[in-house]
């Protein structure tokens, strides 16, 4: 798909969804006057992250006192079925991230309530729900559809039916989804941020999410090397964070 076709398809997708008009306005500003925002402070943060990064295995062991190998062994079949579903999905989205980090954060906190932003195929949702289902917990997720690819129906595509009972998916931009989520549940055990990667988008969401994380809860943010929002947020709040290097990107994680 050419760039012009993609932009046009995205725009038409937005026009068909009046509930996404506020995000359309923000996108226009983001891609015009605020263009530099996506990479603000990127170099500073990449050297900061590189200097402290550890593996996912080390992070899970150091923070949660847990060992990660059981996840792949215990859920081998579920993960293989999900990967098969992903291969058959007509819309292409982002693949799995550091699933063990998410799963063991839920195990460590004995999570009952988790919030995540960014679902795509649903890999992080799957890892979360596999832990939550043991305690009848609930995952609250926020994701905008892939408008350029008519991807509305495929958000969360790999999540198996038997786990959907504990899942509430909010199909708006975070700025609209999160207030709705917080009106249903105020305090969370784990939060996972993996949606709007702009500096301003992160700063807004990190502040909102942090307020709703309980003491002892786990905060995880993906792709923290895109710009310096995560580093700046941690420094502003005197947070000692762990940085995980996973498949060439950095993930931030700390216990509140
Ligand atoms: C990297 S993917 C998420 C991957 C997912 N966490 C996983 O582990 O498979 C990012 C997602 O964020 C969503 N997204 C981007 N900007 C958003 C926004 N402002 N509000 C809500 N969702 C957004 C995209 O639609 C996309 O599905």
Q: For residue range 16-61, what is the model confidence (pLDDT) as tens digits?
A: 888 888 888 787 777 777 777 788 999 999 999 999 999 999 999 9
Please check whether residue 213 is in contact with residue 204, taking contact to mean a CB–CB distance below 8 angstroms.
Answer: no
- Of all protein residues, whose CA lies closest to atom 25 belonging to ligand 1? 144
Q: What is the pTM of this model?
A: 0.94
Ligand 1 contact via 94 beta carbon (within 6 Å): yes
Ligand 1 contact via 151 beta carbon (within 6 Å): no
Where do the domains of the chain lie? Answer: 3-255
Please check whether residue 45 is in contact with residue 97, taking contact to mean a CB–CB distance below 8 angstroms.
Answer: no
CATH architecture assigned to 3-255: 3-Layer(aba) Sandwich (3.40)
DSSP string, 190-214: EEEE-S--SHHHHHHHHHHHHHTEE
Query: Radius of gyration (Cα) for the chain, nearest Å?
Result: 18
Ligand 1 contact via 86 beta carbon (within 6 Å): no
pLDDT of residue 36: 72
The DSSP call for residue 14 is H
Percent of the chain with pLDDT over 90: 77
Nearest ligand 1 atom, CA 142: 21
Per-residue pLDDT band at 181 (split at 50, 70, 90): very high
Q: What mean pLDDT is predicted for residues 94-99?
A: 88
What are the residues facing 218 on neighbouring strands? 190, 255
Q: Is the predicted pLDDT of residue 146 greater than 70, yes or no? A: no
Distance 150 CA to ligand 1 centre (A): 15
Ligand 1 contact via 166 beta carbon (within 6 Å): no
d(CA 91, CA 252): 28
Q: Which range, of 17-26, 192-201, 216-225, 239-248, averages the lowest pLDDT? A: 17-26
- Of all protein residues, whose CA lies closest to atom 3 belonging to ligand 1? 118
Per-residue pLDDT band at 145 (split at 50, 70, 90): low
Distance 156 CA to ligand 1 centre (A): 11
Nearest ligand 1 atom, CA 143: 22
Q: Is the predicted pLDDT of residue 185 greater than 70, yes or no? A: yes
Ligand 1 contact via 97 beta carbon (within 6 Å): yes
Nearest ligand 1 atom, CA 99: 8
Nearest ligand 1 atom, CA 196: 16
110-135 per-position pLDDT tens digit: 999 999 999 999 999 999 999 999 99
Q: What is the Cα 165 distance to its own chain's centre?
A: 20
């Amino acid at each position: 798909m050419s760039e012009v076709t993609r932009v046009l398809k995205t725009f038409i997708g937005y026009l068909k969804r009046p509930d996404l008009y506020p995000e359309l306005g923000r996108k226009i500003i983001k891609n015009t006057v605020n263009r530099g925002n996506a990479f603000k402070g990127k170099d500073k943060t990449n050297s900061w992250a590189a200097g402290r990064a550890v593996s996912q295995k080390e992070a899970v062991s150091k923070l949660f006192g847990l060992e990660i190998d059981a996840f792949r062994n215990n859920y081998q079949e579920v993960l293989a079925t999900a990967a098969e579903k992903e291969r058959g999905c007509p819309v292409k989205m982002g693949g799995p991230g550091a699933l063990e980090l998410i799963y063991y954060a839920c195990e460590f906190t004995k999570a009952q309530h988790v919030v995540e932003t960014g679902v795509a195929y649903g890999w992080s949702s799957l890892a979360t729900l596999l832990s939550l289902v043991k305690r009848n917990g609930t995952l609250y997720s926020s994701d905008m559809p892939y408008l350029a690819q008519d991807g509305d129906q495929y958000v969360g595509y790999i999540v198996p039916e038997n786990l959907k009972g504990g899942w509430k998916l909010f199909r708006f931009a975070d700025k609209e989804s999160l207030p709705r989520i917080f009106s249903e549940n105020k305090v969370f055990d784990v939060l996972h941020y993996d949606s709007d990667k702009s500096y301003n988008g992160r700063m807004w969401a990190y502040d909102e999410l942090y307020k709703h994380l309980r003491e002892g809860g786990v905060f995880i943010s993906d792709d923290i090397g895109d710009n310096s929002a995560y580093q700046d947020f941690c420094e502003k709040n005197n947070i000692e964070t762990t940085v995980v290097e996973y498949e060439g990107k950095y993930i931030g994680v700390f216990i509140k």
